[in-house]
Each structure stands twice: as C-alpha cells, then as structure tokens.
Chain A
Amino acid sequence: MIERIVDFFGDERHALRRRRLFYLVLVLIVVADFLVSREHAEYLWERLPGWSAVYGFGSCVILIFVSKFLGHQGGLMRREDYYD
C-alpha cells in the first residue's frame, strides 16, 4: 500500500489527478476556515477567516525570494571550492 501511495505522488501518470486533489484540498481548507468557531481569538488576524492561507502563501514567497536575493546579490552563495 505504501508503495502505491508513494507512486501516486511520484509518477507522471497521476499528475492531473494529483493537481485536482491538491486544489480541492486548498478549497476545502479555506471553506472550513470560514466555518470553525473562534471564541478565543485574541489578535485581529485570528478573527479573519482565510488569514492563515494568505499568511502561509505570503511567508513562502517572501522566504524564497528574500533568501535567494541574499544568496545571489548578498554574496552568501559561493562556488563549492571557495574554502579550498
């Protein structure tokens, strides 16, 4: 069974079904986020349904591009023989 699950995520044949499933999950999460109760919300953003989706996506994009900027323009990434 494990092999079939792993294969589902790896094999090109399942690419379309994989993508559909992924988008379905995304939609379900946002819908669920509108439905859950939030009595303990302390901060402004905790009261906004869908906030976590926006923050997660934003964090991911910021992390990728800030890091790559530091790596390329900031000079953190060097050739592998840098210390040799």
Chain B
Amino acid sequence: MTDFVHPALLFILGAVPIPFLKETIRKAYLVLVPLLAFLAVLTMEPGTYGAATFIGQEILIAKVDRLSIVFATVFTIMALIGMIYALHLTRPGQHVAAFVYVGSALGVVFAGDYLTLYLFWEGMAFASAYLVFAQGGEKATGAAFRYLMVHVTGGVALLGGILLHGAATGSLLFGPMEGAIGVGAYLILAGFLLNAAVPPLNAWLTDAYPEATVTGAVFMSAFTTKTAVYVLARAFPGTELLVWLGAAMALYGVVYAVLENDCRRLLAYHIVSQVGYMVAGVGIGTEMAVNGATSHAFAHILYKALLFMGAGAVIYVTGRRKLTELGGLYRTMPLTVALYMVGAFAISAFPFFSGFVTKSMVVAAAGQDHRALVMLALTMASSGTFLHTGLKLPYYMFFGTDRKLEAREPPRNMLVAMGMAAALCIAIGIFPGPLYALLPYPVDFEPYTGAHVTESLGILMFTALGFVIFLRALDPENTISLDTDWFYRKGARGFMWLAEKPLARYEKAVSDVSETTVLPLLHGSARAGLRLDLNGVDGVVNGVARSILTGGGALRRLQTGVVTHYALAMIAGVIAAIVVFAVVWR
C-alpha cells in the first residue's frame, strides 16, 4: 500500500480542513492538493489495491490500469486549473464541494468493484449539485433540485442494475460485460448513459450547467460526463447501440446549439455533441476507437473547461449571459477573447489544436470500421461545432453589435487558469506524442497528413463561409428551447395539480364523513372509556406521565431544531450501523 496513495482520498479528506484555513494559506492549500494528487497519479503503478470483503462480497477499492491512469491524469490537471480559476472566492463552501466532487470522480475512475463505484457515483451527484445550489436564486435552486432528482433516479437504476447483475453473475467486480446483456446490465447501462447525457437522458445537463456558479460550471463541464465515458469504455466497449446513440447525440447537441441564446447553455449543448464522439468511439470498440474516445475525453476536458471559463469570465464581469444582451466586448476583454478562441479552435479541431489530433482518431476509427454513415454524421457535427462555439458565440458575445457594456478583464487568477488550459490545448495539438503514449492501446495513427489537414480546413473554413453568408439567419432570439426536461417539468406540474385538486377534494370528503358520523361514535365510546379510566387506570397513567414529562424535558435540551444537526446525527447513525454490520456479520 505504500506505493499507492489514492488520489480520491487526498481530495475527499483534503476537503475537511478548507473551512478552517485563513485566506492566503487556504489559497496555497487549494493549489497544493491537486498538485499532490497529480504527482500521486504520475507515480502510480498499475495493479490492484485495497482488496477486501464486505458483507460477503469481494470489493476492490482501487484498480489501476492504463485506461484509469489517462482519466485520472486529466482529472487532476483539471482540478488544478479549476481550483486556480476559483481562487478568488472568499467563502469555502464551493471549494469543499469541488474537492469532494473531484475526489468522487477519481474514486469512480479507480473503482474495482460496483459497490465502490456506486458510492463515489452518488458522491459526485450530491457534491456537484451543491455547485448549482450555491448560485442561489429561484432559477438556480429549481434547476439544482431537478438535477439532483434526475441523478438520484439514475443512481437507483444503477444500484438496481448492480444488484441484479451481481445476483446473476455472482461477482460485483467492475469490468467488461461478458456474454449476453441481461436486465441488470441494461439498468447499469441506463445509469451510465444518463450521466453521459445521451438523449433523451440529456436534459439535466443543459438545464443545470448554465445555472451553476461561474466557477462551479467549469468543474461540472469536466467531470460527470467524462466519468460516464470512462465507465462505458470499461464495461461496454463494442456495444453496437452506443455507436448510433453517439452519432445521433453529436448532431442533437449541434441542432439545439443553433437555437440557444444563453451562452453557457450553448456550450452545454456542445458537451452533449462532443461526448457523442466519445460514446460512438466506445461503441465501435476497436483499439483505435477506444484510443480515440479516451484521447478525445482528455482533450475535451481541457478545451471545454477553457470555453466555460471564457463564458464565465464574461458573466462574472458583465453579469449578463444572453447573447441578445452581449456584444462588443473585444475592446475591453481582448485577452479573454484570445484565450476563448484557443478553446474554440481546439473544440473545432483546427490543425495544431488539441481537437485535431483526438477527434479525428474517432472519425478515422469509424472509417476503418467501414461505417461511412457514422463518419459523415460526425464530420457534419464538426462543422456545426465550429459554427457555434467558434463563430456564433464569439461573434455575438465579443464582437457583433456593441452594447456599450462596462467591462474589464477578469481577475488574474481566472486569466492564469485559462492560460494554462489554452497552453495545454495548443501543446497537445502540436505534440500529440505524450498523450498518445498515455492511451490504453498502442497508437497507429498519424493526424498530420496533407490530405487530413486540407480536408479539415476545407470543412471548417467553408463552414465559416456559410456563417458569413447566412449571418442574419443565426441572430440569437430571446427564447428558450424545449428539451426532454419538458416531460418532468410539465409532468411535475400535472402531479401538483393532481395533489391540489382531486386528491385534496377527496381528502376533504373523507374528513367530512369522519366529522359527521365517525366522530360522534368516537365521542360516545370515549365517554364510556372515561368512566372506566377515572376509576382504575388513572393512578398508573399519572405515574407514567410524570416520568415521561421529566424525560421529555431532558430530551428537549438535546434538540436544536437545526436540520443539519439531525442530518449529521443520521449520517453518524448510518456509519455506526454499517460498522456494526460489517464487524458482527463478517
């Protein structure tokens, strides 16, 4: 165990002292922990750690192999960048949530069995929901509750799947699904697909991310969907369904991005689109495709965070988020524009930017696997990606109509974080070697061929021509777009109507009956009882009542009325129960 420090532990235990640290020390600490975690991942040896048995089940806290190391590497780098971006926050709440969130994501990436995975999976959902709650206000709170509800539902599906799968195969170890996929495996797949935001299970993402805090959204854009890609790559490589879901979601996100007016919601739809490439890559399942999906996840985390940081900087400075209300910021925020554009070129897969060396691997793998249609769909989605994140969003946010907004560059820590992400986007694009060397399989792919470069540039620059010609058709409109969250947002309203109208009427009718007929009957029997009571039982009852009264007084002093205290007591109770259970039953 000495050669392995679990990075999840560093973050989760490391979150505890944050609220107690003072200003400068806290800042140093927030940077130090991700650095240590990054070192821990770099020095990690493949193998299995923390094997034990728990209530008769084999569990494996950490299983380290090439696939988990790639994801852990980029997760810790991203944690560092995200923490630097958030350093200016004075209240510790979001830092603690971000630490637990990152730690849980790392816990999933190293989980060797389904129980460990599930535990960290839920940890991620709750910690990330806090980053939306922290924004405050009615809209954010509503979105956060919906986010939590959807993830808890997904978690239940996952847990059900785990139990069924465990019962069917007799093992809870986490690895590739073998043989025919049963009900349990399908439920697990559904839980994974929900976190990967595969339509129609995508709406939680585009609903909640734009409502999160400026710094929180940066973390969220990186971890939840990419852990889902990781678990899919681990458990379901080569599942045909995923190829088509992935190709469809790549286009789905792009179509919605045309309609969007909220800058971060537009970017959120592009997460859906980009994760489509990864899901398709996992579905194709060849060595090259899984390499492509993995490397694309690596690059995606960095450029997507960069884009969210750029849009977040604009929101931080101007307080506005709608494209119809933004414009002309390039004069006051040139550095932000330049850094944002690096992210935009990376996501659009321009040569010498990171997307070029990773996205094309997925597309090439589709071609090699003789899937012409998938290849064409993904290429079309690349065109749409540049159209929105590279042209529409920066045009209406930074250029376009000058709205005479008062603006300035964001705080220096934000610019430094964006600069780090931008540097990595370019470095990976120019020197893909080190990233390729990290990938799970040997890489036999050369991105920089003449034909590939001219083809990419042709697709992208002629997309720009279309943008220039049809610019007016793309003008943002003051609308919101209906997505699959319509079903539960309107559905919940129907449920509330049901509860308020028919159910309330039924309840009133029942209470009327009880008042007119049942109550007199009870009164009569009570009077009869009273006579009996007064004579014999009274003495005994009085004695008991007196003792309860004194006991109650003592109990009342224990009750604080603060919900968090009760919650803490409950958690302590659950932990105690688990310990007793584990020790006594083993």
Q: Chain A: residues with CB nearer than 8 A to chain B?
A: 2-3, 5-7, 9-10, 22, 25-26, 29-30, 32-33, 35-38, 40-43, 46, 50-57, 59-68, 70-71, 75-80, 82-83
Contact A56 B458 (CB under 8 A): yes
- Give CA–CA (A7, B478) in the complex, Å: 28
Q: How many residues on chain B are close to A (CB under 8 Å)?
A: 51
> Given A26-B465, A59-B380, A61-B466, A10 and B331 touching (CB < 8 A)?
yes
- Give CA–CA (A71, B256) in the complex, Å: 9
- Give CA–CA (A61, B463) in the complex, Å: 8
- Give CA–CA (A64, B471) in the complex, Å: 10
Please list 27 pairs of residues, one from A and one from B, whose beta carbons are closer than 8 Å in the complex, sorted by A's number.
Answer: A2-B334, A2-B335, A5-B338, A6-B334, A7-B331, A10-B399, A26-B461, A29-B457, A33-B454, A33-B455, A40-B451, A43-B367, A51-B458, A55-B376, A55-B380, A55-B459, A56-B462, A61-B470, A64-B474, A66-B255, A68-B259, A71-B258, A71-B259, A76-B256, A77-B477, A77-B480, A80-B478
B254 at the interface (CB under 8 A from A): yes
> Given A7-B330, A52-B454, A52-B456, A60 and B259 touching (CB < 8 A)?
no
B489 at the interface (CB under 8 A from A): yes
Inter-chain contacts of B398 with A (CB < 8 A): 10
Nearest 8 interchain pairs by C-beta: A60-B466, A52-B458, A67-B258, A36-B450, A56-B459, A59-B383, A56-B462, A10-B330
Contact B468 A55 (CB under 8 A): no
Q: Which residue of A lies closest to B490 (CB)?
A: A83
Contact B337 A22 (CB under 8 A): no
B244 at the interface (CB under 8 A from A): no
- Give CA–CA (A39, B455) in the complex, Å: 14
> Given A63-B258, A75-B482, A78-B482, A83 and B458 touching (CB < 8 A)?
no
Contact A29 B458 (CB under 8 A): yes
B315 at the interface (CB under 8 A from A): no
Contact B387 A71 (CB under 8 A): no
> Given A70-B255, A77-B480, A59 and B330 touching (CB < 8 A)?
no
B379 at the interface (CB under 8 A from A): yes
Contact A52 B459 (CB under 8 A): yes
Q: Which residue of A lies closest to B464 (CB)?
A: A22
B558 at the interface (CB under 8 A from A): no
Contact A63 B255 (CB under 8 A): yes
Contact A68 B468 (CB under 8 A): no
Q: Which of B330, B383, B481 contacts A56, CB < 8 Å? A: B383
